[in-house]
Amino acid sequence: MGAGGESERIYNDTRSSILERHPNDPILSFHKVKQKIEELIGITSIIHDMCVNSCLAYTGPFSELLTCPYCNEPRYKVPPSESHRRKNVHVPRQQFHTIPVGPQIQAQWRSPAGAREAKYRSRRTEELLSSVHPESGDLKIDIYDDFLQGFDYLQAVANGDITSDDTVILFSFNGAQLYKNKQSDCWIGIWILLDLHPDARYKKIKICPAFFIPGPNNPQNAKSFHHPSLYHVSALQKEGFRIWDADSKRVFTSRPITLLFTADGVALIDLNGLVGHKGACGCRVYCDLSGRRKPNDHKYYPALLLPDNYDVQGCDHPDVDVAQYLKPSASKYARNLAYVLSATSATNYKDRRRDTGISRPSVISGLVPECMLGIPGSFPLDLMHLTSLNIPDILIGLWHGTLACDSQDDKTTWDWATLTGKTWETHGK
């Protein structure tokens, strides 16, 4: 029995014991307690059916399907129980929960202290804009310590696309390992309230859950699980939602500004619709850098320097000065997306996908354009995995002489592999 089931059992046993002694006490059942909590806080989950193998969620265009198009498993339990058959009720084999972000934002403002926390972004933005030079119009920034100093954000504020009453949020999506010694294929989406101070916004108590994909496998169509969350946000962006400010004792209308969408390289392609880091145009911020591949291989690498004795067609461009490349272009993305969508055959599509780095439209393309930084601007670089995991893993493999390489590569020529044998043991001591 899981933790939730055990908690329910303990509550029911305790309630039964009390009622034996005080049978007239109005002690709510476990189910009624959950209903009362939802009524008090205004936050509840929306439940949708999903494939028993976690291939997809039965949402959006898949909402009427009775079988999974990926694994052919039925959506409902077959055959239904006698009671369900009489009531003509279909029992889903698996479900997942979506927790809308709107009520969670409203809950943040419901106390005076919470409302003051939520005003950090607007206060700090006013401080930054007050330092604009009156004649030149230049903004003097001494320290860059948050997204608030970013040009794109400040430009959106100056244009009126982001107001002090709006709520700026960040979405993140990734897999989660729930057990120390067991691989888990649970996936979680979360919202971060960027209106809060950086010291508070990433605390566990302040993170807003978006949805949970319980597994048992990796989702084949992650977009179907994103759909209820993004559909909800899109509606709030178009219509606005009312918030009670417990600090100023006022009611105002806000819009969720979906400023950034983050994920690691594997999960990001489910959000941005690009081909991923192994593609010929694999940059996650959609810059002009083209990859290089080994002869007769289909995997590309972002190699800046032209290898010696190398003549792979389409990859033999000169050395790259990375400082001249890292400028994403929304207009180029829009132009190339239209080019991919106008492909006339499967082969034509594959060629255009390779040449543009675009696999399909992004799942966030249905959001209100004024309420985000656009595509690819809404997908920032992943510095955490790069500097904390990827680069150290490569360097240690190089120094140890254990990095995977081609069979024709002679490791005895690796004069950089110096942390081997007794040297590495001595270094460790």
pLDDT of residue 260: 95
**How confident is residue 75, by pLDDT bands cut at 50, 70 and 90?**
very high
Query: By the 8 A CB rule, do 117 and 108 touch?
Result: yes
Higher pLDDT, 163 or 175: 163
Q: How many residues does the chain have?
A: 429
Res 160: pLDDT:
93
Are 280 and 314 within 8 A, CB to CB? yes
Cα 35 → chain centroid = 30
Q: Which residue has the tokens 């401080």?
A: 127
What is the tens place of the pLDDT at every residue in 101-139?
999 999 999 999 999 999 999 999 999 988 876 666 677
pLDDT greater than 80 at residue 409: yes
Beta strands 256-262 and 167-176, pairing class = parallel
Lowest mean pLDDT among 22-31, 180-189, 283-292, 401-410: 180-189
Instruction: Please report the pLDDT score of residue 426 as a whole number.
Output: 87
The tokens describing 296, both together, are 């007769």
pLDDT (0 to 100) of residue 133: 67
Percentage with pLDDT > 70 across the chain: 94
Instruction: Give the per-residue SS3 of the chain.
Output: CCHHHHHHHHHHHHHHHHHHHCCCCCCCCHHHHHHHHHHHHCCCCEEEEECCCCCCECCHHHCCCCECCCCCCECECCCCCHHHHHCCCCCECCEEEECCHHHHHHHHCCCHHHHHHHCHHHHHHHHHHCCECCCCCCECCCCCCCHHHCHHHHHHHHCCCCCCCCEEEEEEEEEECCECCECCCEEEEEEEECCCCHHHHCCHHHCEEEEEECCCCCCCCCHHHHHHHHHHHHHHHHHCEEEEECCCCEEEEECEEEEEEECCHHHHHHHHCECCCCCCCCCCCCCCCCCEECCCCCCEECCCCCCCCCCCCCCCCCCCCHHHCCCCCHHHHHHHHHHHHCCCCHHHHHHHHHHHCECCCCHHHHCCHHHCCCCCCCCCCCHHHHHHHHHHHHHHHHHHCCCCCCCCCCHHHCCCCCCCHHHHHHHHC
pLDDT at 296: 87
Least confident of 377-381, 384-388, 424-428: 424-428
**What mean pLDDT is predicted for residues 336-340?**
96
Distance CA(163)–CA(147), nearest Å, equals 16
The reported pLDDT for the residue numbered 416 is: 92
| 203-218 per-position pLDDT tens digit | 999 999 999 998 888 8
Q: Which of 54-58, 133-137, 237-241 shows the lowest per-residue confidence on average (mean pLDDT)?
A: 133-137
**Dist CA 212 CA 188 (whole Å):** 5
- pLDDT for residue 424: 80
Task: Give the whole-angstrom CA distance, residue 166 versus residue 117.
Answer: 14
Q: How crowded is residue 343: how many other Cβ atoms within 10 Å of its Cβ?
A: 14
Average pLDDT, the chain: 89
- Per-residue pLDDT, averaged over 75-79, amounts to 85
| Chain segment 225-238, per-residue pLDDT in tens | 999 999 999 999 99
Whether the pLDDT of residue 330 is over 50: the answer is yes
Mean pLDDT of 378-382: 90
Spell out the residues 6+ positions from residue 381 whose beta carbon is closer than 8 angstroms to its own: 284, 285
Residue 420: predicted pLDDT? 85
In angstroms, the CA 230 to CA 367 distance is 8
What pLDDT score was predicted for residue 186? 87
pLDDT of residue 1: 36
- Strand 300-301 relative to strand 256-262: parallel, antiparallel, unpaired? unpaired
- Contact of 60 with 224, CB cutoff 8 Å: yes
CA distances in angstroms from 371 to 6, 198, 283, 357, 368, listed in the order given: 43, 21, 24, 25, 5
Phi, psi (5° rounding) for residue 394?
-70, -45
Look up tokens 């972002």; give the residue: 302
Return d(Cα 246, Cα 114) in angstroms, integer: 8
Q: Average pLDDT of 234-262?
A: 96
Residue 377 has pLDDT above 70, yes or no: yes
Reply yes or no on whether the pLDDT at 373 is more than 50.
Answer: yes
Angle at which helix 330-341 crosses helix 346-356, to 10 degrees, equals 170
Helix axes 120-129, 151-158, angle to 10 degrees: 90
Q: What is the pLDDT of residue 83?
A: 62
